[in-house]
Structure 1
C-alpha cells in the first residue's frame, strides 16, 4: 500500500475516534437460519473474491485460481470493466444455487481514483418512489448508477431470465463492491420489479442515512452485511449517534464475525445482530482500525491479484467476445449454456483500469 493510502488510513482512524492461538469451529449465536446462512456466505464470498481477478481470460472462462471450489461450474453471462472509474463486475448463473449471481469488485487497494471516490462523503437525495427523505453516499451511488456497470448488469439479468425463468437473484460484493451490490439489489427491486432478491455484502461501508436504511430494510428484507472483527471500512463514513437523522446509518442486518479467546483457544463466532443496522453490541462495540481484517473473510482473500494500479489483460480470442465504447470501457458477453473457449495463457492484449 502506497504512502497516499496510508495517509488516508490515518485520516480514517482519526475520524473513527469520534464514532464508535488456536482456532476452533465456527459458532453461530442463536438460531437465525431463516436470516443468515453460513454455507451460502461461504459460497458468495468466493464470488466476491473472484471478481477481483485481472486476467479477464481466466475470469470470463471461469478457469481462474479463484473460480474453483464452491463456485465450480459457474457460467458468466456478462463481464463488464469500466476503465474510466476502475470498476469491474460480472453476472452469471450458478446452477448449484439455481440463481443468477451478480458480483462487484471492491476498492483496488492501489487505485487512488477509488480511494478519492470512497472519500466523497457528500449525501445525495435519492429520488426513488416511496423513499422520502432518503439520502445516499454520492460516490457509491455514482459508481453503480452513472457508469457502464448498471446498463451491462441489467442487460445480463434480462438475458438470463429469458433463458432460465424467474430464478432468484443473489447480489454480492466486498468493500465498495458491497456498496454497489446494495444499490443494485434496490435498483432491481424498485425500478425493475424483480422478485426474490438476496443481497449479501462483505466489509461494506455505510451508504445512506437513517431514512434510507429504514426504507431499504422494507424493500430488500433479505439483505445481510457481513463484518469481520475489527474491519475499518464498515465504520466509514462515521456514525454519529447525536445526529440520528443526518448521519450515515447502516441498513440491517449485520452479521459480525469475531473471535472469543479462552486461554490458548480461539473460538470463531458469528453473531446475527439486531434489526437496527447499528447494533451497539456488534461491530460497533470495538475500535475498528484493521485493514487486514478487511482483506480476508471466511479465510478467503478479497483483494486484487495484480500489483500496481488497476490493470487487466486478456487473450485475443477472448477479446472477440468483447465490445468497447469510445472511453475504452469493456463488456464481454456470451450466451449462457453454450461452449466457451478455455485458455490459460496471458496475452499482449491488456490495459490499465486507471
Structure 2
C-alpha cells in the first residue's frame, strides 16, 4: 500500500511539473517575452538538426529527410559553408513563426571525442570587446567572428529583411553551433541594433566567464539553453566553483530535460532553471558523462548524417552558381540558384526520355 501511495505521488508530481514547464498552446507567432515555450523548442531543434545535413542540394532546396515535420515550408535565403574551418550555417524565413531563422552546425560526430577532450584544457583567452573583465573562449569566438560565416549571415539577414520586413530573428544551434548562435545573437544586438532577437541553443558548452555571462544576459535576455540529462558538453569547459570570477560561467536561462519515474512509467521533465546560469539543482546536479545524451534532443537526432567529417554533396548546377572565394569557402544564395537547378534537372529529364 505504501509503495502505491509513493508511486501515485510521483505521478502527480510529474504531471504538475509537465503542466508548469510546458507551453502547450500552439501559436502562429511566438512573442519574445516567453522564457520558455516547449512547442517552439521542438521546432527550433529540427532546424538545429537539419543544418548538419551533408547533401547541400537537398538542404538548400529544403527537401532533405530532416527538412520535414515542424519545419515544412521553410524558405532558404543563404547557405554558408566555410570549408577551411569545417563550418556550416543557413539563414531563411519560417512563415509559421513569422521569423528569420539562423542555424549553425555543431561539431561533427567523427571529431566530437577529440573536441570534448580539448575542452577540458581550454582556458579563457580572449578579452571581449566593449566590456571590462569579460573574457571568452577564443575558439568559439573566432569560429563566428573570424571566418566567412559572419559576413554570410549578415548579408542574408539584410536580404531577408528587405524581402519580408522587420521580422524577429531566432538564432539556434547545437553543441559548438550553439556557441556560435550565442555570439551571433549578441553581434546582432550590439553591432546592428536588432532588438527582436531570440536565441535558443541545445547542448551548448560554456563560452565565457561570469562577467561575460552578465553582459550577455542583459543584452540578449530572450535566450534559452536547453540541456539534456547527462549531456557532457554543457559541463565544458569546466566550472571551478572555488574561482567564480575566473572560471567559465554559463549565461541564463537553462532548461534542463531529465527523466523522472519508475520502470515503464517515465516522464520527461522540463525544468526552467534560475537566473544564475549555474543553477545547482539543474544539469549541474548530475555528472556530465554522456555523449549519447548530447546527440538526441526531444527525440530528434543531432549530428551529421555522414561519417566523413566535412563531407559535402552538391548538384553541379548549384556548384557552378555558388559564390566561392580563393580558399574554397562558398555561399549559396536563393537568387537565381533554384531556377538554375530546375533548368538543369529538366534538361537531365529530357535527355533521359529522348
What TM-score do you get using the length of structure 2 for normalisation? Answer: 0.85
Aligned equivalents of 2:184, 2:263: Cα separation in 1? 44
Matched residue SS, 1:312: coil
Are residue 155 (structure 1) and residue 155 (structure 2) matched? yes
Which residue in the other structure is 2:63 paired with? 63
2:54 corresponds in structure 1 to: 54
User: Could you tell me how far apart the structure 1 residues matched to 2:55 and 2:271 are?
Assistant: 36
SS in 2 for 1:314: coil
Inter-CA distance 84–338: structure 2 relative to 1 (3 Å threshold): closer
Bigger Cα Rg? 2
Q: Which residue of 1 aligns with 2:181?
A: 181
Deviation per CA, 1:220-264: give whole Å up to 9, x if none.
Answer: 000000000000000000001100001000000000000002344
Q: Distance in 1 between matches of 2:148 and 2:19?
A: 41
Partner of 1:350: none
Question: In the TM superposition, what are the counterparts of 1:228-307 in structure 2 within 5 Å?
Answer: 228-307=228-307
Indicate whether 1:331 and 2:331 are aligned: yes
**Secondary structure at the counterpart of residue 192 of structure 2:** coil
In the TM superposition, what whole-angstrom CA distance separates every residue of 1:254-302 from its partner, at most 9, and x where no partner exists?
Answer: 0000000234411111000000000000000001100000000000000
- SS at 1:216 equivalent: helix
CA RMSD of aligned residues (A): 2.5
Query: What count of residue pairs does the alignment treat as equivalent?
Result: 321
The 8 Å contact of residues 49 and 300 in structure 2, kept in 1 or not, is answered as yes
Q: State the 1:114 CA deviation.
A: 7.8
Q: CA deviation at 1:308?
A: 2.1
Partner of 1:210: 210
Contact 2:321 2:337 in 1 (8 A): no
Instruction: Please identify, of 178-187 and 159-168, the stretch whose mean Cα deviation from structure 2 is larger.
Output: 159-168
TM-superposed deviation, 1:53:
0.2
Tell me if structure 1 keeps the 8 A contact 2:22–2:270: no
Match of 2:102 in 1: 102
Does 2:184 match 1:194?
Answer: no
Higher relative contact order, structure no. (Cα contacts within 8 Å, ≥ 6 residues apart): 1
> Equivalents in 2 of 1:321, 1:62: separation in Å?
17
Query: Which blocks of at least 5 consecutive residues in structure 1 are unaligned?
Result: 1-23, 346-354
SS at structure 1 position matched to 2:110? coil
Q: Deviations over 1:182-223 (max 9, x none)?
A: 000000000111121000000000000000001111000000
Higher relative helix content: 2
Separation (CA, whole Å) in 1 of partners of 2:190 and 2:106: 24
Cα distance 1:210–1:29, how it changes in 2: closer, same or farther (>3 A)?
Answer: farther
The answer for the alignment partner of 1:30 in structure 2 is 20
Q: Is 1:128 the equivalent of 2:153?
A: no
CA-CA distance at 1:340 after TM superposition = 7.5
Equivalent residue of 2:200, what SS? Answer: strand
For structure 2, the residue ranges without an aligned partner over 5 or more in a row are: 1-13, 24-33, 346-354
After superposition, what is the alpha-carbon deviation per residue over 1:131-155, rounded to whole angstroms, capped at 9, x for unaligned?
Answer: 2211000110010000110000011
Counterparts in 2 of 1:214-225, with a 5 A limit?
214-225=214-225
For 2:318 and 2:16, locate their aligned partners in 1 and report how far apart those are by CA, in whole Å: 41
* Contact residue 118 and residue 139 of structure 1 kept, 8 A: no
Give the CA deviation at 1:309: 2.1
Deviations 1:148-167 (A, max 9, x none): 10000011001111111111
> Counting strand residues as a fraction of each chain, which structure ranks higher?
1
Stretch moving more, 329-338 or 35-44: 329-338
